Structure 1
Amino acid sequence: MTGLRLPSSLRHALPTIAATLSLTLALSALPHAGYALTEPEKNQPVVNDKADSPDAQPDPDASEDELLEEQKQGIPMPDGLINKKNDKTVVPDDKADAPEIPTEFIHDLSKLPEPVKKLRVALVEAAASGDIERLRPLMGTGEEQTQISIGDAPEDPIAALKSLSGDPDGREIMAILLDILSTSAAHIDKGTANDQYVWPYFAEKSLDALTPPEQVELYRIVTASDVSDMKEFGSYNFYRIGISPDGKWKFFVAGD
């Protein structure tokens, strides 16, 4: 059987027709291929590019719920204002920096400053007179009034002194004042606002370090039983007197 014979003109056109048909089919398939490449799969999560960006900032117009949702998606919260790693509070230790001022014990009372010597003599003369009222003008007034008790200042310091004495006229307390002023003095806190001369010097010295002559001086003021109690307490705690370098009577108190 003889095959179908095409005209020669048609045979020469067949390659051109085949090429045109292939190009047409290829162009018609391009939209579908592009869609397949760009369309995300239904089960894949959507990536938030803004959340992953280090420069991303919260939307100022967003609601609170939207901001919370953005935080969950990875927006970093701003750092605190305080760097806790470097937040170290340094408390200055004034006591550690302040040099210790040694106490000076003055056994030769003629070496006391002139204002201190003058007030000491006046106190001795007033106490020896037996008239406690002679102490009043030496006590000062207002903020400079002599402290005679621990706590609030009494309205009448002389009446308060009488109440401390074993007799109604205050002569026992004047005898104690005389005995204390007969001992050596201790110069404490020299050059500071608390600079003063203190009697008896036992008040600024360890009782266990007293020499035999110094112990005799102490027994002139208190009994052996009192000394034993003081050692148990840790220091001298009987009456003591303080005078400032400018000759003001600062205190006359008992206790620590």
Structure 2
Amino acid sequence: MQMSADGKKLFRSSLIVLSVLLGTTALTVPARPAFALSELKKAPGEEPQKPAEDEKAAPVEEKQEEPETSPLELPMPDPLIRRNGAVTEPADEPPVTDETPDETPQAPVEVIRDIEKAPEPVRRMRELIVEAAASGDIQRLAPLLGKGMTETQVSLVESNESPVETLKGQSGDPDGNEVLAILLDVLATGFVHVGKGTPDEMYVWPYFAEKPLAGLTPPEKVDLLRIVTAGDYADMQEFGSYNFYRVGITPDGQWKFFVTGE
């Protein structure tokens, strides 16, 4: 059956309208959200897949512990005593000597405070020194200091200066008054008699010069602190002995030394 031209046009118009209606309906229907694969539920009766046998993890091989080896040990030396041959080698012994340590205790130092117990030449020289020092004029010591072989030692270091100039150089003032004051303080203390019967026999002031500081009594410490400061005393204790000014006069009245230091 043949359609007329008007019928064909009407049929095409109907198809176009139908297509538009279907497209509009599709746009108005809400879209459902998509689900991740992990959110999908398994179908009932479905069993989980098992990994293939060839994909199974290989068993971990257990590491065998190696036996501990002890460090290399040196062989022990042969014993000195051999039991099979009865050979005995004695150990070395220290040589025997006839020398015995000197454990004789030192005799206590006798401190003399009475000048009358000294020989007259010693007393006379001491008196002259005190008079010269008390005058405040250091030049008055010059005749007492001697010359040449009998010159008084005033320093532990050799010098070309005269004894008076050396003493002035040791003083804290240019006139030497400090040294004169020290000389008076030293001769005001007790003294000791040393080297009896020998060429070095002498009377020495102060007695601290011949007595261990560790053995000083409280009154003797006061005597010492009249000459030196507490700081000087501490230094002397560390040094081990008295090391300040000291005076020596021989039994025949020669002024042997007036020195300070070790």
Q: Deviations over 1:157-212 (max 9, x none)?
A: 11111000000000000000000000001111111010001100000001111111
Aligned residue for 2:153? 147
Please tell me the residue identity of whatever aligns with 1:197: Y
Taking structure 1 as the reference length, the TM-score comes to 0.60
Which residue, 226, 239, 255 being the options, matches 1:220? 226
Aligned residue for 2:176? 170
Q: What is the alpha-carbon distance in structure 2 between the residues aligned to residue 179 and residue 151 of structure 1? A: 24
Which residue, 207, 211, 217 being the options, matches 2:213? 207
2:109–2:211 contact (8 Å) kept in structure 1: no
1:101–1:190 contact (8 Å) kept in structure 2: no
1:155 shift after superposition: 3.1
1:105 shift after superposition: 2.3
Q: Deviations over 1:108-163 (max 9, x none)?
A: 11211100000000000000000001000001110110000013253311111100
For residues 1-256 of structure 1, the aligned pairs below 5 Å read 103-256=109-262
SS in structure 2 of the partner of residue 216 of structure 1: helix
1:220 shift after superposition: 0.3
How many residue pairs align between the two structures?
Answer: 159
2:189–2:223 contact (8 Å) kept in structure 1: yes
2:244–2:261 contact (8 Å) kept in structure 1: yes
Q: Deviations over 1:12-54 (max 9, x none)?
A: xxxxxxxxxxxxxxxxxxxxxxxxxxxxxxxxxxxxxxxxxxx
Seq. identity, %: 60
Looking at CA atoms only, which structure, 1 or 2, has the larger radius of gyration? 2
Q: What is the alpha-carbon distance in structure 1 between the residues aligned to residue 234 and residue 250 of structure 2? A: 31
Unaligned runs of 5+ in 2: 1-98
Q: What is the alpha-carbon distance in structure 1 between the residues aligned to residue 156 and residue 192 of structure 2? A: 21
Aligned residue for 2:36? none
SS in structure 1 of the partner of residue 111 of structure 2: strand
1:106 shift after superposition: 1.1
SS in structure 2 of the partner of residue 222 of structure 1: coil
Q: What is the alpha-carbon distance in structure 2 between the residues aligned to residue 228 and residue 123 of structure 1? A: 30
Please tell me the residue identity of whatever aligns with 2:223: E
Q: What is the alpha-carbon distance in structure 2 between the residues aligned to residue 246 and residue 106 of structure 1? A: 18
SS in structure 2 of the partner of residue 221 of structure 1: coil
Unaligned runs of 5+ in 1: 1-92
Q: What is the alpha-carbon distance in structure 1 between the residues aligned to residue 218 and residue 107 of structure 2? A: 27
1:105–1:184 contact (8 Å) kept in structure 2: yes
SS in structure 2 of the partner of residue 235 of structure 1: coil
1:132–1:169 contact (8 Å) kept in structure 2: yes
Please tell me the residue identity of whatever aligns with 2:175: D
Q: What is the alpha-carbon distance in structure 2 between the residues aligned to residue 140 and residue 166 of structure 1? A: 24
Taking structure 2 as the reference length, the TM-score comes to 0.58
